[in-house]
Amino acid sequence: MKRIVTDAATLGIELSPHQARLIRRYETLLLERAIPMGLVARSDSDRLYERHILDSLRAAPLFRPSDRRAYDLGSGAGLPGISLAIVLPRCRFTLAESRSKRSAFLELAVERLGLSNVDVHAGSADTLPAGADIVTARAFAPLERTWPLAAGLLRVGGKLIYFAGKRIRDPEGMARAAAGPSRQVSIEKVLESMAPLVMMTLE
């Protein structure tokens, strides 16, 4: 658990021992439940923490103190939503997942981890009410499809945090060219070894 605390500190996140234990328990749930269910690739068994949990935590420094309501689109196994909910207890997270097997795992994880700041929305993301401060999307859909959906869920001044894969060569260009409402765009390299995060703020 010392490594979790140290890695979080590198990101500017101060973790309590309880939060570090929750992250470790979540990693165990991914290994014991999510991988056998096919929600996470079996080839990631030996790198769950680095490839999925630590990667998800990169978004935490981009949350503002005033952000209180976040939606995680296509949450899957809870990445990044559950990881972020553990380290950002002040914010309420809704994990949107339309596929029943995945939403069932999310319900299990929320119960096992005792996350009182997390709801599971077992349905399409476009049925969520508007007004979110933050929308996150990791392995959800191409950016040009994600932004129009996210923009409809955000309040003015709210922002989409999009996890751009390493295969995307010009994430800023894609963000500026995407159809949908006017937005401010910034590219954040939170950890140099990982792909950038695209931040799109609804104007």
In this predicted model, which residue has the larger pLDDT, 190 or 140? 140
pLDDT at 159 over 80: yes
pLDDT at 39 over 90: yes
Share of the chain above pLDDT 70, in %: 100
Strands across the sheet containing 183-188: 118-121, 92-96, 69-73, 132-138, 154-163, 197-202, 183-188
In this prediction, residues 194-201 reach a mean pLDDT of 94
pTM: 0.96
Query: Cβ–Cβ contacts within 10 Å for residue 96, how many?
Result: 26
pLDDT at 190 over 90: no
In this prediction, residues 160-189 reach a mean pLDDT of 93
Confidence at residue 25, expressed as pLDDT on a 0 to 100 scale:
98
pLDDT at 166 over 90: no
Contacts of 167 (CB under 8 A, 6+ apart): none
pLDDT at 195 over 90: no
pLDDT at 54 over 80: yes
In this prediction, residues 169-173 reach a mean pLDDT of 92
pLDDT at 198 over 90: yes
Confidence at residue 192, expressed as pLDDT on a 0 to 100 scale:
78
How does pLDDT run across 40-52, given as a tens digit for each residue?
999 999 999 999 9
Three-state DSSP state, 124 = coil
pLDDT at 135 over 90: yes
How does pLDDT run across 82-133, given as a tens digit for each residue?
999 999 999 999 999 999 999 999 999 999 999 999 999 999 999 999 999 9
Confidence at residue 112, expressed as pLDDT on a 0 to 100 scale:
97
Three-state DSSP state, 97 = coil
Share of the chain above pLDDT 90, in %: 93
Contacts of 75 (CB under 8 A, 6+ apart): 81, 82, 95, 96, 97, 102, 106, 120
